[in-house]
Structure 1
Amino acid sequence: MFRPLSIFVGLRYTRAKRRKNFISFISMTSMIGLALGVLAMIVVLSVMNGFQREMSSRILGMVPHAMIQGVKPLDDWRPVAAAAMKNPEVLAAVPFTELDGMLSYKGMMQPIQISGVDPAREGEVSIVADHIVQGRLDDLKPGEFGVVVGEITARRFRLNVGDKITLIVPEVSTAPGGITPRMQRLNVVGVFKVGAELDGSMGLINAADAAEMQRWQPGQVQSVRLKLKDLYTAPEVSAAIVRDLGAGYKADDWTHTQGSLFSAMKMEKTMIGLLLLMIVAVAAFNIIATLIMVVNDKGADIAILRTIGATPRQIMGIFMVQGTVIGVAGTVIGGVLGVIAAINVSAIVGWVERISGQHIFTSDVYFISNLPSELQAGDVMLICGAGLVLSFLATIYPAYRASQIEPAHALRYE
């Protein structure tokens, strides 16, 4: 089968034993370094994707994807919910009231964000019912002023189901100060744990109790909470619903409250990816040193090829093929091992914990008890593509130097 001269000789040089074993050693280390760099990038980015997925599912499973609020409390939330459900991106719409206050218990205080919910419908838009560790969400009965608090809050105050705690909320008044505190005694009926900072900053009460605390009419709520198919479309979807409803309504969504957190996570992934890419670049550019030594070692061979008619372009192609083969082999090996490691990283960490007897991730310290991983095909393709491109670029200069060797000069001392 016919093969171009550059490919034929380049592959022969790759397989052939060299007179200087040191050159073979450098070639091998370049390949191994490139493979390790690609492997590290795939595993680290997959773990970061896993962390982002866990945070998204836990935090954005608790906070509203979007809210449709009235300029004043909604007397009847159902027409607003029905209008929202006409949008194909909306999966569910339930009543919702939100107020900020301070929890007080035995002289200790902490700020908290209280959500007034309908326990019967909350499961349509929230994951809280699946993360109750004490009590039940259904125990939030209207008129009983029950509260479900997070696990961090319960641990900080040493609360158990049945304890009573005081909620202090600001109330606008005609007094000279303008705002006076209002206190309400709440009964702890449950504790939830989602494994995020919301465990220490969020609480749930019945929407009817929230209306009474706000001195609203029975049945009034602050807004309608929406669950969306794609939470990243929340600003557009909520704005479209408000336009259809007309004046007297405004939209809010999770990007206003949690957007900075996920922007920071995205930036962190980008920066760590760039730093790891430097490892791949160092390994790829080791190919330069390898090929320069090969060119020096093969000077006489190059001169002979030139004398029998090989063009400078063909000589350049020979060494570009040789360097590219090293890059392709390192990238493929690193990519395969990286995919295998990313898929099994949780099992690997569990095995290390069993062997060492030490827990790397404990639920008492971290929000998760295992190392999550989410392998994305786009990341693998981008990493392997970057490795191949850098490897190819690293071959250009040594190959160009080889093409400029003059036969008479190379053969003078042979």
Structure 2
Amino acid sequence: MSTTTQTDKRAGAGPFSKFEWMVAGRYLRARRKDTFISVIAALTLVGVAIGVATLIVVMSVMNGFREELLSKILGLNGHFTAFPIEEQFTDYQQVVQQIETVDGVEFAVYFVEGQALASGDNQSTGVSVRGMDSENIAKLPLLRNSAIQGGWDEWDGSSGVAIGYRLAQRLGVGLGDPVTIINPDGATTPFGTTPQIRSYPVTVIFDLGMVEFDSLFLFMPLQQAQEYFRLYDDVLREGQEPLDPMATDEEIDAAYERIYQATAAEIFISDPDAVGIMRQRIQAAQIDQPLVLTDWQQRNETFFSALQVERVVMFTILSMIIVVAAFNIISSLVMLVKDKAADIAVLRTMGATRGAIMRIFSITGTAIGVAGTLVGLVLGLIIAANAEPLRAFVSRTLGVAIFPPEVFFLSSLPSRTDPAEVMTVVCLALGLSFLATLYPAWRAAQYDPVEALRYE
């Protein structure tokens, strides 16, 4: 059998034969006269790797950012907030027990909330005062495990307050220092309403990991908050006759019963995305107090919608890096085709088909894309898994705050890699790399052996 016949068989042997892989492999290996083309191919590989790694890292950080914000917000505020419609919320304990019997509800907590001005040694700032008892704090792991100074033991019997560490820094107070709280809605006198001003020692300093919470919230024992915001009614005990105006304090205390109120209740459900179904279940339940329900999606609709739009825009913009790298594959293959015109002509005269030539250059270009994608995949996963240590290292090295918590709400840079998104990025890179080889490979297959060898 002649050499030409053997070459014909190798060239014509099925798609991606050993012959085609061998020729493509030789074109990928650098030779002295092909150095420039090899440099372009290497830079193209680096471009694909950078694009894939950047997409994986950015999408992982944005996923972690959304998940962390969601866990912090829903770890304290709940999936539903229930407000009484008409009557004062005096039967809050019974209502919470009834809500917790609804299928799909994990637990519910009642609380007192109001706005006030907090003053320390350094300055004053507005705070959101929330009153909760130990039983409800125990239901919130985010709050219960957040104490970095002091603790929640004997919380109900204490006369102190709990504040975030950023609020403590702003007010210039520490554990045991007094904090003055001023509420404009105080007692009513003949001369008008006097502000409610009281001082409480700091018994707990917490770190929730979210700047907004750590610099805004101030917690009080439930009854202490009810007293401070005057959320109570003194009513005569059943069967008790009205007292004489000259009655003593002891007689008044014995004759009147103090009925405390709550502001609202937070409801936590097992599936955060099932707010529509759970709203119907809660409203259909036999609950004594008619309630108005607002869910977490309504409260944070603008914020999370902006995050979703940002994710889509960032993915689209960063995908352009891979598109640019794909154009580099086209340019490097076009140069390779022109440089190998004589080789292509020789292969054609030896019996290589147009399809074989096209497959050879498709393998060459796709190999660059595959190698770049794999390098980018490994690099992206490593960086995404170590996003916070890398951020801290770069910040210390450059002396610049990268992702400052005052701007990005969180005290650390979260990252969560989604396997589905990683596969999307890999498929996108591989698909663009393959498509980028089609035109140069088609051009190579159209070469006329006679014309290519005429001037050789």
TM-score range, shorter chain: 0.7 to 0.9
2:47 aligned residue: 33
1:14 aligned residue: 24
CA drift at 1:297: 1.9
Preserved contact between residue 403 and residue 413 of structure 2 (Cα < 8 Å): no
2:339 aligned residue: 297
For residue 140 of structure 2, the aligned residue among 103, 122, 125 is: 125
Alpha-carbon separation, structure 1, partners of 2:213 and 2:65: 16
- Greater shift after overlay, 212-221 or 110-119? 212-221
Is the counterpart of residue 93 in structure 1 residue 93 in structure 2?
no
Normalization by structure 2: what TM-score? 0.76
Alpha-carbon separation, structure 2, partners of 1:233 and 1:174: 49
CA drift at 1:6: 4.7
Root mean square deviation of aligned Cα: 3.7
Listed one character per residue, the Cα deviations across residues 285-341 of structure 1 (whole Å, up to 9, x for unaligned) are 210011101211222333344456655444333322221121111111221232233
Is the counterpart of residue 278 in structure 1 residue 320 in structure 2?
yes
Alpha-carbon separation, structure 1, partners of 2:351 and 2:80: 72
Listed one character per residue, the Cα deviations across residues 82-125 of structure 1 (whole Å, up to 9, x for unaligned) are 34323443222122232233335579543222222122321213
Is the counterpart of residue 136 in structure 1 residue 177 in structure 2?
no
Alpha-carbon separation, structure 1, partners of 2:440 and 2:92: 72
Give the secondary structure class of the aligned counterpart of 1:74: coil
- Greater shift after overlay, 288-297 or 303-312? 303-312
1:242 is aligned with what amino acid? Q
Extract unaligned runs of 5+ from structure 1: none
1:62-101 aligned within 5 A: 62-71=76-85, 72-101=87-116
Q: Cα 1:233–1:102, aligned 2, differ >3 Å: closer, same or farther?
A: farther
1:225 aligned residue: 266
For residue 196 of structure 2, the aligned residue among 183, 196, 217 is: 183
Give the secondary structure class of the aligned counterpart of 1:261: helix
Alpha-carbon separation, structure 1, partners of 2:411 and 2:166: 16
CA drift at 1:411: 2.9
Is the counterpart of residue 194 in structure 1 residue 208 in structure 2?
yes
1:205-224 aligned within 5 A: 205-212=220-227, 213-217=229-233, 218-224=259-265
Alpha-carbon separation, structure 1, partners of 2:95 and 2:400: 49
Is the counterpart of residue 388 in structure 1 residue 430 in structure 2?
yes
Alpha-carbon separation, structure 2, partners of 1:8 and 1:181: 92
Alpha-carbon separation, structure 2, partners of 1:47 and 1:90: 31
- Greater shift after overlay, 319-328 or 8-17? 8-17
For residue 278 of structure 2, the aligned residue among 237, 246, 258 is: 237
Alpha-carbon separation, structure 2, partners of 1:48 and 1:336: 19
Alpha-carbon separation, structure 1, partners of 2:276 and 2:449: 69
Q: Cα 1:250–1:239, aligned 2, differ >3 Å: closer, same or farther?
A: farther
2:248 aligned residue: none
CA drift at 1:8: 4.0
1:128 is aligned with what amino acid? L
Alpha-carbon separation, structure 1, partners of 2:102 and 2:66: 28
CA drift at 1:275: 2.9
Alpha-carbon separation, structure 2, partners of 1:388 and 1:42: 15
CA drift at 1:145: 5.8
- Greater shift after overlay, 89-98 or 242-251? 242-251
2:128 aligned residue: 113
Alpha-carbon separation, structure 2, partners of 1:214 and 1:167: 13
1:407 aligned residue: 449
Q: Cα 1:364–1:49, aligned 2, differ >3 Å: closer, same or farther?
A: closer
Alpha-carbon separation, structure 2, partners of 1:45 and 1:382: 11
Alpha-carbon separation, structure 2, partners of 1:270 and 1:337: 22
CA drift at 1:392: 1.4
CA drift at 1:3: 5.2
1:250 is aligned with what amino acid? V
Q: Cα 1:87–1:12, aligned 2, differ >3 Å: closer, same or farther?
A: farther
Give the secondary structure class of the aligned counterpart of 1:410: helix
2:171 aligned residue: 157
1:315 aligned residue: 357
Alpha-carbon separation, structure 1, partners of 2:309 and 2:348: 52
2:226 is aligned with what amino acid? A
Give the secondary structure class of the aligned counterpart of 2:161: strand
2:117 is aligned with what amino acid? M
Give the secondary structure class of the aligned counterpart of 1:68: strand
Alpha-carbon separation, structure 2, partners of 1:234 and 1:199: 27
Alpha-carbon separation, structure 2, partners of 1:237 and 1:182: 41
Preserved contact between residue 122 and residue 172 of structure 2 (Cα < 8 Å): no
1:248 aligned residue: 290
Alpha-carbon separation, structure 2, partners of 1:400 and 1:308: 19
CA drift at 1:283: 1.6
CA drift at 1:70: 1.7
Preserved contact between residue 68 and residue 238 of structure 1 (Cα < 8 Å): no
Alpha-carbon separation, structure 2, partners of 1:89 and 1:76: 22
Aligned residues: 410
1:102 aligned residue: 117
Listed one character per residue, the Cα deviations across residues 123-142 of structure 1 (whole Å, up to 9, x for unaligned) are 21352222223333345436
Normalization by structure 1: what TM-score? 0.83
Q: How many percent of aligned residue pairs carry the same amino acid?
A: 33
Give the secondary structure class of the aligned counterpart of 2:75: coil
1:27-66 aligned within 5 A: 27-66=41-80
The structure whose Rg is larger is 2
Preserved contact between residue 120 and residue 172 of structure 2 (Cα < 8 Å): no
